[in-house]
Amino acid sequence: QVQLAESGGGSVQAGGSLRLACAASDYAWRNKCMAWFRQVPGEERKAVVWIYAGGRFTRYVESVKGRFTISQDDAQKTMYLQMSSLRPDDTATYYCAARGALCDRPFGRHQYPFWGQGTQVTVSS
């Protein structure tokens, strides 16, 4: 059974930085069809960034472009999300998600069967 474990959340002031990590176990890491999502209470879980095609491609939502960077450590089977210039509207619970098969495009949240437990990010003004 694939397991994903996020870490690295916390509270920062606006303009600060955090790095989230998502450690994968029992996952076909070479496929690397993964994503970071975030959710605010009362709202839908929304994608932030996708990594796909075995890690060759990434795609960011417009609101985080230039501020967030996804990276990967193949040896540790860990995906990272470096978040800089954080804003109060980045406050959310952040989740990593994965599909088992190799994928050639990003997917919506319902198409990722594997999820971590989430990590809270709070940005104060």
Q: For every one of its 125 residues, what pLDDT tens digit does the chain have, with 9 covering 90 and above?
A: 899 999 999 999 999 999 999 999 999 888 889 999 999 999 999 999 999 988 899 999 999 999 999 999 999 999 999 999 999 999 999 999 999 888 999 999 999 999 999 999 999 99
Of residues 106, 103, 90, 118, the one with CA closest to residue 21:
118
Q: Judge whether 37 and 89 are in contact, CB under 8 Å.
A: no
> Assign residue 120 a region: left if phi > 0, alpha if psi is -120 to 50, beta otherwise?
beta
No. of H helices and E strands in the chain? 0, 11
Query: In the structure encoding, which two tokens stand for residue 15, read together?
Result: 């303009």
What burial class does residue 36 get, using C-beta atoms within 10 Å of its C-beta: 0-12 exposed, 13-18 middle, 19+ buried? buried
- Sort strands 10-13 and 18-25 into parallel, antiparallel or unpaired: unpaired
Of residues 49, 67, 57, the one with CA closest to residue 103:
57
